């Protein structure tokens, strides 16, 4: 199995050996939710009633059902594996480590702390940061996790069109598109409308 996994990781461009990646997956699974979550546990009786009235099924997952967490755990593991450390980001941008931490504090870069800062790779273009990144980051709602923001930045949006095709916000910015358009879209993350 490790050879097959190593082949998949190589094709995806991830620089992790199979055991390291599986450790990331296990860690992500442990952090994201308990093994057999009972959805009703997270809501008050009034909330449960309202959600049931709206047609939501809050019963625990049956043993035979696919585990809905698998895709999220895999995405989280890939996000963590592809993220840069402060040192790696500093080297890429040809600046001192303290400049990276300063940019994180100012909101000019984004990241999360996990045994040191981890900076998601989507915000870099190989030799620098995405054009317009600061404008976009200012608009990201504070309550949105790194995984949600990463998914948004890498998912084609019908409002961002390049050559008659929907583009991802990352592609849009790399092509010189207006960062304000991405900022308006990212500002709606987590909102019901």
Domain check: are 73 and 17 in the same one?
A: yes
Q: 184: helix, coil or strand?
A: helix
Q: Is the pTM of this model over 0.75?
A: no
pLDDT at 5 over 80: no
Q: Are 58 and 49 in contact (CB under 8 A)?
A: no
Number of C-beta neighbours around residue 47 at 10 A: 12
Domain check: are 94 and 144 in the same one?
A: no
Domain check: are 90 and 147 in the same one?
A: no
CA angle in degrees (0–180, nearest 5) for 107-108-114: 65
pLDDT tens digits along 123-176: 999 889 999 999 999 999 999 999 899 999 999 999 999 999 999 999 999 999
| Residues 66/70/71/76 CA torsion (nearest 10 deg) | 170
Residue 51 lies in a domain: no
157 has which bridge partners?
167
Domain check: are 171 and 187 in the same one?
A: yes
Cα distance from N-terminal residue to C-terminal residue, the chain:
43
Which residue range forms the structural domain that includes residue 160? 130-193
Q: Which two tokens stand for residue 16?
A: 């992790």
Number of domains in the chain: 3
């Amino acid at each position: 199995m490790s050879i097959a996994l190593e082949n998949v990781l190589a094709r995806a461009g991830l620089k992790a050996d199979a055991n390291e990646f599986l450790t990331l997956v296990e860690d992500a699974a442990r952090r994201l939710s308990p093994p057999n979550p009972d959805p009703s546990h997270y809501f008050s009786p009034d909330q449960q009633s309202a959600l049931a009235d709206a047609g939501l099924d809050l019963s625990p997952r049956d043993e035979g059902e696919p585990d809905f967490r698998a895709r999220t755990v895999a995405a989280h593991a890939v996000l963590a594996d592809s993220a840069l450390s402060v040192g790696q980001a500093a080297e890429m941008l040809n600046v001192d480590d303290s400049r990276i931490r300063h940019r994180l504090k100012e909101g000019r870069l984004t990241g999360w702390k996990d045994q040191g800062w981890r900076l998601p790779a989507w915000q870099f273009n190989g030799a620098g940061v995405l054009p317009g990144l600061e404008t976009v980051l200012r608009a990201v709602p504070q309550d949105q996790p790194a995984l949600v923001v990463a998914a948004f930045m890498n998912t084609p949006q019908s409002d961002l069109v390049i050559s008659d095709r929907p583009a991802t916000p990352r592609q849009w910015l790399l092509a010189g598109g207006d960062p304000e358009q991405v900022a308006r879209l990212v500002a709606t993350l987590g909102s019901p409308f």
